[in-house]
Amino acid sequence: MINLRLAEYDLKTGKFVRFLELGKDFVYGGDFVGVYPQTALQAIRKCTIFSSDNFYKFEKDETDPLNRFNGRFDGFIYGSGRFVLMESDLT
């Protein structure tokens, strides 16, 4: 089983902000990720009506604009470097 998380970074300082969990904080669409704002998360938990308009869509970047780890994250970056997709094998 593969675990997906997003690491969020501050675009001005390049510092790590937080990890986001798949299904709880974001959805994964391959060429994009959708990050839920807190108001949408509250609505989901209350089982109220939810639409795709309730998340922020970030497109996939080919290269890491912050060049972290000599391009190691190229192809795993979303939102102009704001998010890095992390994969881990749980088996």
What integer pLDDT is reported at residue 64 of this predicted model? 87
Write the single-letter amino acid at 2: I
How far is C-alpha 80 from the chain's CA centre? 12
Cβ atoms of 9 and 66 closer than 8 Å: yes
Which helix (H) or strand (E) segment holds residue 38: the answer is helix 38-45
Global confidence as pTM: 0.76
The predicted-structure confidence for 27-58, as pLDDT tens digits, reads as follows 888 999 988 876 544 544 555 444 556 678 89
